[in-house]
Amino acid sequence: MIEGRILGDARLFFGDELLIPTASGTFTVPPDLLLKNIVDIPVPDGMQFLASKRGKKYYPVGSAAGEQLVPENRIYFKTAEEAEKAGYVK
């Protein structure tokens, strides 16, 4: 748990969650509230597959393997055939 203290009249929110301190102003927060790493990477319209510039395989957009690809190395394709023509395999 992460512990803290609020001095004075203040409200503390983590996302949509209001933290309610004790009478002395202390509070505890589960670490997962603070340690979320949310990355939103936009996918170009119409693209259904992606691959890494450094790899040999292509993946469906939104797949677990595809989401692991470094954004700077991503190449997008509309179809599996397009990916295969570029030299990538399933």
> Comparing 26 with 35, which gets the higher pLDDT?
26
**pLDDT above 80 (res 21):** yes
Binned at pLDDT 50, 70 and 90, residue 11 comes out as confident
pLDDT per residue as tens digits for the range 28-61: 888 876 777 777 889 999 999 999 999 999 999 9
**pLDDT above 90 (res 2):** no
The residue type found at 51 is A
Tokens 């505890």 locate to 28
User: 0.85 cut: is pTM over it?
Assistant: no
Domain boundaries, the chain: 2-34, 49-85
| 19 C-beta neighbours (distance < 10 Å), count | 14
Q: pLDDT value at position 43?
A: 95
